[in-house]
Structure 1
């Protein structure tokens, strides 16, 4: 029975990665598919990088046959529309093709679809409405399916909202009182994987699992404050005084997060995330518990089993700092280049003139280095090119230091210490380079 093949779509994400690894440990043959996988996530020859979103129904059908797929676990999802992220395309259009492919495969395949809790009446975001449309398509398809609606997912790893919870626990900060009081049903990620394993062990025609929609969550709700408090207990910060972020600042952070998303970054604090946070997470897990016999883990069991490790603490402390570091470095290069080119051009050119540079080279060098600085800042600001920008910034800084040592050594002892301060800037760029990974 455990030799059934499970296809996990979105095997690089928080849920998808854990489910892929856990089901393999349980003895299932699991094919993990994602658009891109980090080197650390390529644990098996069955971890595949594929442009799954661009595959049509016929290509999907062939893929299912080639890998003898018995169960499909769809963990694909995006929080908000933006460059490279289309909620309609991921949540609705792809699911429609997926259902068409399953129906045309000639195989008895069960679809396990990861959705969101709540009711359609409370859906206010494109994220929520498209997720709900996918549920309706699946329910009307007639294929064997299980729609799983997990609550707030607590996992050993951290990404997005779960990373933000850890960051709040590591700092003396709270969200506004209204948000902290929002009721949240949570679920341990182990319970999600155990549910999928339970489904995979059942025959596709089993009446108890043929067409079900389950809320996966602890029966008793807690508040956002309660979840953060448990993390603080693990981090040893529970006794610290805390300051609540003003609601106006929370809204401003969401707008900044939206802007960052257009540059390719995926900050956890965006308009959709705040809207979903304010709605809360609620549901009724009784049908899931009664059918599977699984006992959801409590909050203390999920978070409080072990004290936070040093790597947990470092991640939580640096999570919020990452955005500040990247933004400050991008601004540093952009502003320094802009000032030299447009505000203090004569002063910048005068430095070269004072050190006996050939007059014919003064303007080209001043303009060229200013444009280079602006380009480095722009590269750092865009997620896809941030690593290139940081490496270029390090090389440019070293070049400035070396050039000054050869051509203008007196700049090293000038009162404001501009070149001396370049060393710490290089270190900060190295730190940013090492922190770019999201998964």
Structure 2
């Protein structure tokens, strides 16, 4: 007969993320009362009334303490984190400053609360990025706080869903590309997300005064050392692409991709390849899970068990193949609309107006229509490039393209049979915009 679950309430911060979402659902499945909080949930993520959209990053310590008291929280699981500074993302604010306020809130709540904090593996002396430095600063704040805490340092997380780096590795496994030898040989000890969730559930079930589960820092990962190349190879075995011929990517291409990723992140996108991601990838993922295993009794899944427990579905394969193609679609469509409008207005304005005039377009409308449509095209291209407005711009592009086709059919039907087939080619462009729109979601 299994032991009853203690009637404890658990607050999961960052409940929309890869780890946070899985942990929230897992705790509920185990019988815990879990309150999930995130800045924003996708419509598919909001499972219950206890998934709350709250701007916790803007809350001060008294407001956070009130939140803990009002919901009678016994355990806080902090899954909040950002990879790199950018629009709406500040690593110091999320990793260090927020944790400081959260600690003050826990002390000021009047409740006996355990904090379970998700951090990163590795020694402090190896920290080279703002991401890792601020993560380590948060650990030191927690260790000196005097509250009951558990700092968990997961290895490379393998989960049913994929986001960021985990999605990138799946894409590399599905496509004919190989990482450079230096990166492939990097230590990369993985952990199944089920083992992270089991650890949090184990900690949540212990009394806050239990010394065994208080003031602990654990590396969560399989004990057997493996490499990044081996991790990708296991995904290839799952996808059935192990025998696919491959081209080895030069290291300079990764560095260039990271710089481009930094640039794109300023437009609101979250590309998996950025300078911080490449730096952390080259640093590797390694640690010693022996104390975690000894105290919790959890035997972590191996890489083969975590990835190979089920063959990849067609959904997995489509996602992996389309993941990098999505970036190409967005980039090509943004350039297509912007450049075509720019050329018509500034480079070949006379030729553009001549095409309309030569096809019996009303003379008084030639110049205004050329200017207005060119400006509209450039606006659509610029809006596609920004993450926040991309969906709107793609819909606008589809509508504009259909309008061009319908307008030409009414006013200048002979454009449909001109030798270069400009209007005929608009059809595939509409399909590409539709595909980009359908793949726009990140979670």
TM range (shorter): over 0.9
| Structure 1: gaps (5+ residues) | none
Equivalence for 2:128? 124
Secondary structure of the residue aligned to 1:141 is: coil
Question: Hey, what's the Cα distance between the residues in 1 that align with 2:39 and 2:176?
Answer: 37
Q: CA deviation at 1:360?
A: 3.3
Q: CA deviation at 1:126?
A: 0.5
Q: CA deviation at 1:2?
A: 3.1
Equivalence for 1:337? 341
Aligned pair count reads 439
Equivalence for 1:238? 242
Question: Hey, what's the Cα distance between the residues in 2 that align with 1:12 and 1:360?
Answer: 55
Question: Hey, what's the Cα distance between the residues in 2 that align with 1:328 and 1:173?
Answer: 21
Equivalence for 1:77? 81
Q: Contact (CA 8 Å) 2:41, 2:53: kept in 1 or not?
A: yes
Secondary structure of the residue aligned to 2:151 is: strand
Say if 2:392 is the partner of 1:388.
yes
Secondary structure of the residue aligned to 2:338 is: helix
Secondary structure of the residue aligned to 1:208 is: helix
Aligned ranges for residues 260-271 of structure 1 at < 5 Å? 260-271=264-275
Q: Contact (CA 8 Å) 2:164, 2:272: kept in 1 or not?
A: yes
1:371-411: per-residue Cα shift (whole Å, max 9, x none)?
Answer: 00000000100000000100000000000000000001111
Equivalence for 1:371? 375
Aligned ranges for residues 291-370 of structure 1 at < 5 Å? 291-370=295-374
Q: CA deviation at 1:210?
A: 1.2
Say if 2:201 is the partner of 1:190.
no
Secondary structure of the residue aligned to 1:101 is: helix
TM-score scaled by length of structure 1: 0.99
1:13-47: per-residue Cα shift (whole Å, max 9, x none)?
Answer: 00000000011000000000000000110100000
Aligned ranges for residues 243-254 of structure 1 at < 5 Å? 243-254=247-258
Aligned ranges for residues 358-437 of structure 1 at < 5 Å? 358-437=362-441
Q: CA deviation at 1:251?
A: 0.7
Q: CA deviation at 1:221?
A: 1.1
Aligned ranges for residues 160-309 of structure 1 at < 5 Å? 160-309=164-313
Equivalence for 1:137? 141
1:402-429: per-residue Cα shift (whole Å, max 9, x none)?
Answer: 0000001111111111100100100110
Q: CA deviation at 1:220?
A: 1.0
| Structure 2: gaps (5+ residues) | none
Equivalence for 1:33? 37
Say if 2:26 is the partner of 1:22.
yes
Q: Contact (CA 8 Å) 2:360, 2:412: kept in 1 or not?
A: no
Question: Hey, what's the Cα distance between the residues in 2 that align with 1:415 and 1:163?
Answer: 43
Q: CA deviation at 1:357?
A: 3.5
1:147 to 137, 144, 151: 151
Equivalence for 1:4? 8
Secondary structure of the residue aligned to 2:117 is: strand
1:169-204: per-residue Cα shift (whole Å, max 9, x none)?
Answer: 101111111001101111000000000000011000
Q: CA deviation at 1:359?
A: 3.4
Question: Hey, what's the Cα distance between the residues in 2 that align with 1:364 and 1:97?
Answer: 57
Q: CA deviation at 1:354?
A: 1.9
Aligned ranges for residues 106-117 of structure 1 at < 5 Å? 106-117=110-121
Question: Hey, what's the Cα distance between the residues in 1 that align with 2:75 and 2:93?
Answer: 22
TM-score scaled by length of structure 2: 0.98
Q: Contact (CA 8 Å) 2:361, 2:411: kept in 1 or not?
A: no
Secondary structure of the residue aligned to 1:40 is: coil
Q: CA deviation at 1:352?
A: 2.1
